[in-house]
Amino acid sequence: MANHTATKKHARQALKRRDRNRYYGKTTRNAIKELRAAEGKDAKASLPSVESMIDKLAKRGVIHRKKAANLKSKLARKINADLAAK
């Protein structure tokens, strides 16, 4: 365990950040699953909010920016393909 005051504070902050990042990550993963399961216009309407969540994860450093770009691209392709098939 840490002995210095500043190191103890850093450990506390790291725990808070980890919990917060896990919450944001899990919330975003659930939103992505719901988006993939959604149909047609509902999926198209919720895409911007999910993309925003993904961008925020990349900005915070929870996921890599290129992973965020890949996720957004795959979601957009899937929704556009579903709409074109109908």
Q: What percent of the chain has pLDDT over 70?
A: 99
Q: Are 78 and 36 in contact (CB under 8 A)?
A: yes
pLDDT at 73: 97
Q: Which residues contact 10 (CB under 8 A, 6 or more apart)?
A: 2
For the chain, the C-alpha Rg in angstroms (whole number) is 17
Do residues 43 and 76 touch, judged by C-beta distance below 8 A?
A: no
**Number of domains the chain is built from:** 1
Q: pLDDT tens across 50-82, in order?
A: 999 999 999 999 999 999 999 999 999 999 999
| Confidence at 1, pLDDT banded by 50, 70, 90 | low
Boundaries of domain holding 73: 5-85
Distance between terminal CA atoms of the chain? Answer: 59
CATH code assigned at 61: 1.20.58.110
